[in-house]
Amino acid sequence: MTNINRRHALALAGGALLGAAGLSGTAEAAGAWKRLVVITANIGRSNLGQRERAIRDVRNAVRIDGGLAKPLVGWQEIREGDPDDNEPRWINKHFGSAYQNIYEWDSPAHRVPMSVPKAYKILERRVTSCHGGKAGVTPARYITQALLSRADDPQLRFVFVNTHYVAGAWNGKTDSHEKWRVDMWRQHFRRQRDNVIGYWRGRGFPVIWTGDVNRSAMPLFVPNQEKRAFAKGIDQIGWIPGGNGTQIRLNRTATVPMHVDGHSARVAIMQVRRA
């Protein structure tokens, strides 16, 4: 049996593996439901020679009825282990003109950009600061946000959120920065719950979020209302209903190996509609 480290085990927990050829499946349900594929993808920093392949495989992850789906992607660790700034260029290359790739070059939120298919219009953008960095421990952490509407149904609106939490707060190990890590993780959680999810839901919008949360299992932001695509694992996708009539449901999930480090991309094949 091949040995895997604890980080890899956490990242893979709860997912079904996909080959690079992608996922085959059935078409979206009849009626008003519209297909929405959401992916969270931490590009990693170990095997840098595999990064372009990883980005390409994320783009090609899902095929339904022979057609290539256009996923909504939240990225993490972009330009974090990239001395040549190639990662945003590869995203633009493989996602192409059918996409709006945002936050790639924004300082300081460039580590958590998004790829938004042009089936959605970006109505608003927003960045929330969670905490500053600490040398040798972690960079500063941010939450990127975009209010989206369907181009073919402008009143079908939701907010897409992406982030990456500090590592090491919940890994069962201790070091001289342990208390700081835990304090910053909790502060990040509160900012996402109150300043991000609370802000957008206060305006009536449902929220779909992606991220590397560096904790498994992850507490719910809104108990009894929030749903998660995966029961376990540090790479997560969640959603919380709003009051604007946009409904979200999950069909199935999958996992795409990226071969860079312990992270694999995780996929939620969902549907949305306006009630």
pLDDT at 232 over 50: yes
What integer pLDDT is reported at residue 169 of this predicted model? Answer: 79
What integer pLDDT is reported at residue 173 of this predicted model? Answer: 77
- The residues, ordered by sequence, that sit 6+ positions from 61 with a Cβ below 8 Å of its Cβ are 18, 22, 23, 37, 39, 69, 71, 254, 256, 265, 267
**CATH entry, 6-274, from 2.130.10.10, 3.40.50.1950, 3.30.750.24, 3.60.10.10:** 3.60.10.10
Query: Which has more confidence, 41 or 14?
Result: 41
What integer pLDDT is reported at residue 137 of this predicted model? Answer: 87
Residue percentage of the chain with pLDDT more than 90: 75
Q: Do residues 91 and 115 make contact, with C-beta atoms less than 8 angstroms apart?
A: yes
pLDDT at 17 over 60: no
What integer pLDDT is reported at residue 52 of this predicted model? Answer: 96
pLDDT at 10 over 50: no
What integer pLDDT is reported at residue 136 of this predicted model? Answer: 85
In angstroms, the CA 7 to CA 46 distance is: 13
Task: Tell me the whole-structure pTM to 2 decimals.
Answer: 0.89
3-state secondary structure of 203: coil
How confident is the model over 146-162, as a mean pLDDT?
97
- The continuous run of DSSP H or E covering 269 comes out as strand 264-274
What integer pLDDT is reported at residue 70 of this predicted model? Answer: 97
Q: Do residues 267 and 253 make contact, with C-beta atoms less than 8 angstroms apart?
A: yes
How confident is the model over 9-17, as a mean pLDDT?
43
In angstroms, the CA 1 to CA 18 distance is: 19
Query: Which has more confidence, 188 or 262?
Result: 188
What integer pLDDT is reported at residue 81 of this predicted model? Answer: 73
In angstroms, the CA 19 to CA 200 distance is: 36
Q: Do residues 48 and 15 make contact, with C-beta atoms less than 8 angstroms apart?
A: no
Q: CA distances (Å), 233 to each of 125, 256, 263, in order? A: 28, 14, 10
In angstroms, the CA 273 to CA 255 distance is: 25
Q: State the residue for tokens 């910053």.
A: 184
**Residue-level length of the chain:** 275
Residue percentage of the chain with pLDDT more than 70: 89
What integer pLDDT is reported at residue 31 of this predicted model? Answer: 40
In angstroms, the CA 179 to CA 44 distance is: 25
pLDDT at 36 over 90: yes
Closest CA to 11 of 215, 228, 272: 215
